[in-house]
Amino acid sequence: MRLSTKTYYGLRAMTNLARKEEVSPIADISFEEDIPFAFLEKIFQQLKRAGLVKSKIGSMGGYELARSPKEITAGQIFEALGEEVSSSFCPGNSSCPKYGSCGTKDFLSKLESSIGQTLESITLERLIV
């Protein structure tokens, strides 16, 4: 599995918000985390649609976590940003000509399951400690 830049930046931005526990302007997060501003705006739009952050408008505006850092998992962030946790080389279904006789499909299935379980067990709270 290869982590996309968008998801990497999203994790960094979310841990930044979790550490602060207050509304933060995107410009501040962009500067502090060295993430391109326009890219970070798009990331926060996706995180907001997923209900992981909420925005405040005005001179003291910006973004804050929608829930406690202990209630937001890395898996939720991955999902919000469209990160797939799968082995791109194995379709895992009957469309593969080796599906019935493949010795690796069970291993790859267990690997994907383990990664998913790990992502769901890691909270923002754990990432900032």
**Per-residue model confidence as pLDDT tens digits over 15-39:** 999 999 889 999 999 999 999 999 9
CA nearest 10: which of 68, 60, 53? 53
Instruction: Kindly tell me if the per-residue pLDDT of 76 is higher than 90.
Output: yes
**Average pLDDT value over all residues in the chain:** 88
pLDDT tier at 99 (50, 70, 90 boundaries)? low
Over residues 55-75, the mean pLDDT reads 93
Residue entry with tokens 């999902």: 79
Is the pLDDT score of 115 beyond 90?
no
Go through the chain and tell me how many residues it has.
Answer: 129
d(CA 9, CA 55): 18
Secondary structure of residue 53 in the 3-state scheme: strand
pLDDT of res. 94: 65
pLDDT band at residue 112, thresholds of 50, 70 and 90?
A: confident
For the purposes of burial, counting CB atoms within 10 Å of the CB of 103, is it exposed (0-12), middle (13-18) or buried (19 or more)? exposed
Q: List Cα–Cα distances, 47 to 10, 30, 104, 109, 112, in angstroms.
A: 8, 15, 35, 28, 23
DSSP-derived secondary structure letter, 102: -
Q: What is the mean pLDDT of residues 49-59?
A: 93
β-strands 53-56, 62-65 pairing: antiparallel
Question: Which of the four pLDDT bands, split at 50, 70 and 90, describes residue 103?
Answer: confident
